[in-house]
Amino acid sequence: MKEVGLLNRELARFISQQGHQDLLMVVDAGFAIHKDLDVIDLSLSINVPTVLQVLAVLKDYYSVEKMIIAHETKNISPTLFNSIKNSFGPNVEVELVKHHILKIKSKDVKVVIRTGDFTAYGNVILVSGAGDRWYLEKGV
């Protein structure tokens, strides 16, 4: 029985299948998820878990080089936006797009993690990338 690390077996499986520049999305409770996408539904009740709680766990198991977030998140939920923006550290690029563009881009993700978060526009696409675990003999 697994008792340490990432306990959700579906989430662990999908993370292990991610390669460089693959997309994973964490969404709020109301995001319209395309019917053909794989979904890990973690929502239990209102704000359980939140997007930020899921990102905090993912940070330990998933390397991110870029986040794609809607302009509406920044404008309507600025506290959440700043927290998402900083969740993987200061060196992660943030791309801002209109919410309808985020919805279009969501069709290209490998998996969506649905939360119970009721914060408006609490959605982010994570672009996987090489983390600080990679050995570089010479800098780029």
Residues serving a catalytic function are 20
Three-class SS state of 107: helix
**Distance between CA atoms of residues 78 and 100, nearest Å:** 18
Q: Are 35 and 99 in contact (CB under 8 A)?
A: no
Paired with 124 in beta bridges are 26, 69
